[in-house]
Structure formats: C-alpha cells, structure tokens
C-alpha cells in the first residue's frame, strides 16, 4: 500500500476529515486532534498496512515509524485540508466549536489525567522543532570534530561557515520558535509568542546601553540580564502571552481589537514576564540541571539503571516526547554540558532491553504464530524502531514488558559508567552510533549489547508465560 492509500485508510477510520482538527508529525507518530472519539475505529486502524500501533491519549497517536510518518503525513494533511502542525480552530463555525468542545469534555472525562495532558501540551510545542534540532545538533557535533582535527582549517571557507551558521543559528534563536509554538499550542497568536521569545535570546540588542551602564531590575535591584531562563522561560512566555491575548480580546471593543490587543499583549506581557516569569524560568532551568546532575553524578550507575529501566513506561503511553525540552537544553552548545546530551544514550538502552526480551520470547516459546510475530518485529527494533515489538509483543504480555525494562537498566549502567554522550537526537538502536560523540561508538555498542543480554536473561528466567502467550495469540 502506497503512502496516499495508507493516508486515505487512516482518514476513513478516524471519522473522515470533518472529525480531524489537527495533525502533527513527530519522529514516529502522526498525532491527530479528534472532535468525536466515538467515530474512531481503533481496531481497524491497527489493521492498516503500515500502522505499527495506535495510542489513545489527549491526542490520537498513529505509530508509523521514522521516515514513513512524514511520507504519510503530507498526503493525510492534503486530504484533511489541515496543514501539518496546525489545527482548524480558527476556521470552525460556532456550532462546530460547540460540538468539538462538548466532545473534548467527554474525552477528558474518559482520560482525566491532568499531568498527562500537560505533558502532551509541552510535547506538542517541541515536536515540530525536532527536524531542525536534529540537523543543527549533528552539524555542531561534526563541526567541533572537524575544527579540532584540522586546527580550524576551514573557517575561512564560505561553504563551511555557511553550514556552521545553520547549527549556531538554530540554537541561538530557538527561544523565538519555542515562544511561537507555545503561543499557538495554547490558542494564542504565534507571532506574539515569538516576540516574547526574543526576550530570552542570549544576544545584546543593537544600540542597547547594556554595555555602557548598569540597568537594575525592580524590587530586587538585580542587574538586568538578557536571555535569562532560556528555553524554559520562552515556553512560559508563549503560554502567558496566549493567556493574556485571549483575555484582552474578551474585553476589548471590536473596533479597537485589531490594534490594541496585540499591542497591549506585547507590552504588558513583556514587562510582567521579565519581572516575574524570567526568574521562574531561570529557577526551573537550574532545577532541571540540578536534578539531572544528581541522578547522573550522585546516583551514578544506579541513576543510569533507574532512568533506562523506567523509560519504556513513558514510551508506552506516548509521553516520552515530553522529555524533548530537556534534550534540547542538553544539546544546546551554550548550556552547561556544551551541547553533549548525557541523558539520551541512557534512555536509548530501553530499546536494547526490548530486543533481548524479544529474543528470549522467540527462543523459549512454542507458539509458532507468536514466534513469527516476534521475529518480524526484532529487526526494526534493532534499528531503533521499537514500537512494533512493544505494542504487539511485550506490552500485551505484561510480565515481558517488565523484564525488558529491567534488562534495559543494565545497558543504562554501562552508558552511565562510560559517560556516553550524544551530539543530537532523533534516532536510536544501531542508528544511535551516528549521534554519539566521536570515539564513543564502540562503547555505545557495548552498552547496547549489555542491554540485549540483560533483557534476554531476565526475560528467559522470569518473563515467559506460555499460558498467557497462548491466550493472547491463539494458534
């Protein structure tokens, strides 16, 4: 089945284009905003050729795999008439809005998990940024190696500096994009959120007196500093600007709305944000680094085990993307880790634990149908696409999912012990070799093999329940 046919089948089984309010493509999943969940045929979706799994949360997530999701997402967006990464709220009639609001209320009653919904919103802010973050991270990592190995021999070549500028530029101006996406996600004007994001740039404005005289903040008399709080502050500003804009619009006379609502949003929002939100953002950023440092440095190998062994649980409910802001912070060349992400390689061991568990299930089970399903899932899991193995094999079995997670923890110990670091994100499994720090590829491979072995051994002795297998996968 080609990409367009797959897109048509998905659209048919989610209730047609009238039932789709948003479509966003992330690394492996097509995330859909749905008006009426009763019109979604989840079982039929799972049977579509190319669909690996379906996750129901605040959004409907159709798991398609890396690369393939982009090929299907584009024709799907054409069929719905909703641009990728956007929604139809602005075009809806009042009647449709009322219906959607009622259905959303019903859906929330079914999935009343405030924390999960909040993390989904944050994930939706950062997911559209992933392609740029991946590209820029790889460019920065490779450029650092080239400069070191060649003694900066290419810094006078226009083509090399053009490529370096791309990597530098994305992370320098990333707060603007975060502010825009945050405002859009919380139903405000994206451009106003982007203006809020400019307050988080670590660059001095042309003509600013900052270099010639001190500027003090109110209440604390602390010096005014540009870029305080970074991406976390940009996220908060985008959310706050959206909130402020919506409430100003409610009280603003229609004749003045076009001019004064954006003006007051920017002015009032900026002043309040600099005084109150930037200190909060700076505190949260420091807290994140402190927690990460405690887990990584103080807990050492136990921290590595804890992180890698619990990551599959996040993936299973589609919340792993909520960690994207942390990965972005760690891959920022101007951050404390200088662009090296020490968390990601530990989490990547979760896929290794699953591969080991899958192999144990394959060799120990006598169920031919089940063994065929396992073996068809293992090759792609080795390459870093673990959804088929998790959703079709380990997660339904329950016990095997737990033993796979425990096995992954042993790979996390090795990743932590040897201080593995990634220069970007977006891939895992064997493809994770591409984003490791130069010189660490063999150690990464060792950690992955340990995760395979851990998942295999723990599952072999504690995770194989033949009765359960035969119950779920009758021959």
What is the Cα 405 distance to its own chain's centre?
A: 20
Structure tokens at 123: 């994930």
Q: What pLDDT, on the 0 to 100 scale, is given for residue 190? A: 93
Q: Which of these, 40, 119, 118, 107, lies nearest to 314 by C-alpha position? A: 119
Q: What pLDDT, on the 0 to 100 scale, is given for residue 214? A: 66
Q: Which of these, 160, 157, 163, 155, lies nearest to 138 by C-alpha position? A: 163
Would you call 20 helix, strand, or coil by DSSP? strand
Q: Which residues pair with 54 in a beta bridge?
A: 62
Q: What pLDDT, on the 0 to 100 scale, is given for residue 110? A: 47
Q: Which of these, 399, 414, 415, lies nearest to 458 by C-alpha position? A: 399
Query: Phi, psi at residue 233, to the nearest 5°?
Result: -65, -40
Q: Does an H or E element contain 23, and which?
A: strand 20-25
User: Which member of 10, 11, 26, 79 is catalytic?
Assistant: 26
b/e sequence 102-121, b meaning 16+ C-beta within 10 Å: ebbeebeeeeeeeeeeebbb
> Which tens digit of pLDDT belongs to each residue from 390-410?
887 888 888 999 999 999 999
Q: Indicate if the pLDDT at residue 176 is higher than 90.
A: yes
Would you call 289 helix, strand, or coil by DSSP? helix
Structure tokens at 258: 């076009």
Q: Indicate if the pLDDT at residue 426 is higher than 90.
A: no
Q: What pLDDT, on the 0 to 100 scale, is given for residue 137? A: 80
In angstroms, the CA 403 to CA 387 distance is 17
Q: What pLDDT, on the 0 to 100 scale, is given for residue 94? A: 39
pLDDT band per the 50, 70, 90 thresholds, residue 213: low
Look-up of token digits 């802010």: 125
Most confidently modeled of 206-215, 373-382, 397-406? 397-406
Query: Is 200 one of the catalytic residues?
Result: no
Most confidently modeled of 165-179, 188-202, 350-364? 350-364
Beta-strand relationship, 60-63 and 86-87: unpaired
> Which tens digit of pLDDT belongs to each residue from 259-295?
899 999 999 999 998 888 888 888 888 888 888 888 8
In angstroms, the CA 390 to CA 20 distance is 27
> Which tens digit of pLDDT belongs to each residue from 134-175?
888 888 878 877 887 788 889 889 999 999 888 888 888 889
Residue ranges of domains in the chain: 3-84+91-102, 173-285, 300-472
Structure tokens at 239: 């959310």
> Which tens digit of pLDDT belongs to each residue from 12-29?
999 998 999 888 887 778
In angstroms, the CA 130 to CA 230 distance is 17
Tell me which of 3.30.300.30, 3.10.129.10, 3.40.50.720, 3.30.1360.60 is the CATH number of domain 3-84+91-102.
Answer: 3.30.1360.60
């Amino acid at each position: 089945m080609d990409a367009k046919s797959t897109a048509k089948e998905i659209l048919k089984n989610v209730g047609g284009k009238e039932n789709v309010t948003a479509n966003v493509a992330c690394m492996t999943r097509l995330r859909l905003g749905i008006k009426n969940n009763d019109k979604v045929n989840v079982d039929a979706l799972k049977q579509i050729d190319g669909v690996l799994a379906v996750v129901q949360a605040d959004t409907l997530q159709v798991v398609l795999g890396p690369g393939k999701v982009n090929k299907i997402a584009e024709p799907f967006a054409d069929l719905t008439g909703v641009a990728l990464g956007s929604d139809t709220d602005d075009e809806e009639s009042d009647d449709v809005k009322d219906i959607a609001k009622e259905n959303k209320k019903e859906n929330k009653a079914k999935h009343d998990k405030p924390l999960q919904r909040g993390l989904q919103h944050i994930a939706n802010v950062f997911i559209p940024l992933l392609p740029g973050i991946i590209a820029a991270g790889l460019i920065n990592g490779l450029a650092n190696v080239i400069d070191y190995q060649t003694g900066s021999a290419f810094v006078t070549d226009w083509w090399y500096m053009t490529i370096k500028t791309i990597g530098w530029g994305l992370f320098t101006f990333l707060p603007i994009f975060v502010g825009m996406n945050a405002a859009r996600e919380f139903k405000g004007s994206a451009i106003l959120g982007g203006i809020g994001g400019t307050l988080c740039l670590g660059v001095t404005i042309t003509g600013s007196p900052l270099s010639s005289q001190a500027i003090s903040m109110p209440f604390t008399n602390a010096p005014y500093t540009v870029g305080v709080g970074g991406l976390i502050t940009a996220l908060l500003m985008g959310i706050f600007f959206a909130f402020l804009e919506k409430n100003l619009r409610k009280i603003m006379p229609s004749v003045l709305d076009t001019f004064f609502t954006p003006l007051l949003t920017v002015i009032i929002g900026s002043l309040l944000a600099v005084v109150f939100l930037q200190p909060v953002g700076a505190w949260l950023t420091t807290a994140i680094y402190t927690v990460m440092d405690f887990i990584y440095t103080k807990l050492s190998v136990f921290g590595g085990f804890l992180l890698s062994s619990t990551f599959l649980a996040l993936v299973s409910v589609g919340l792993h993307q909520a960690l994207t802001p942390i990965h972005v912070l760690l891959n920022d060349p101007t951050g404390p880790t200088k662009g090296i992400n020490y968390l990601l390689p530990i989490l990547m061991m979760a896929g290794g634990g699953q591969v080991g568990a899958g192999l144990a299930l394959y060799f120990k089970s006598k169920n031919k149908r089940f063994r065929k399903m396992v073996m068809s899932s293992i090759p792609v899991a080795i390459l870093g696409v673990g959804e088929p193995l998790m959703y079709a094999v380990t997660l339904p079995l329950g016990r095997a999912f737990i033993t796979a997670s425990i096995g992954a923890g042993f790979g996390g110990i090795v990743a932590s012990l040897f201080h593995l670091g990634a220069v970007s994100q977006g891939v895992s499994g064997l493809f994770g070799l591409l984003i490791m720090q130069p010189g660490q590829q063999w150690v990464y491979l060792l950690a992955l093999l340990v995760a395979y072995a851990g998942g295999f051994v723990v599952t072999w002795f504690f995770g194989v329940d033949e009765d359960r297998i035969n119950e779920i996968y009758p021959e």
